[in-house]
């Protein structure tokens, strides 16, 4: 299995390193592994949904 770093994922997904770390810590990225202080993610990992944004068709309150 091939892996990528948090930095690689941040560039690929257009997110910050810190946001990727948060997703890893919360278990939102399937297959993420922590080695010491560093997270590695599978190359084929999918970007988690951003719950801060509304989906098309949903009403804002």
pLDDT value, residue 48: 87
Pull the structure tokens for residue 27: 């278990």
pLDDT value, residue 49: 82
Across all residues in the chain, what is the average pLDDT? Answer: 88
Q: For residues 18 and 24, what is the distance between their CA atoms, to the nearest angstrom?
A: 10
**Whether the predicted model's global pTM rises above the 0.85 cut:** no
Q: For residues 52 and 44, what is the distance between their CA atoms, to the nearest angstrom?
A: 24
The model's pLDDT over 30-51, given as tens digits with 9 standing for 90+, comes to 999 999 999 999 999 999 887 6
Q: For residues 25 and 50, what is the distance between their CA atoms, to the nearest angstrom?
A: 15
Q: For residues 52 and 8, what is the distance between their CA atoms, to the nearest angstrom?
A: 23
Write down the domain spans for the chain. Answer: 3-42
pLDDT band at 3 (very low <50, low <70, confident <90, very high): very high
pLDDT value, residue 59: 60
Q: What is the DSSP letter of 18?
A: H
């Amino acid at each position: 299995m091939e892996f990528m770093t948090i930095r690689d994922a941040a560039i690929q997904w257009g997110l910050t390193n810190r946001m990727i770390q948060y997703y890893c810590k919360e278990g939102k990225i399937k297959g993420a592994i922590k080695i010491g202080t560093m997270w590695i993610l599978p190359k084929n990992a999918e970007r988690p949904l951003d719950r801060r944004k509304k989906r098309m068709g949903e009403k804002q309150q």
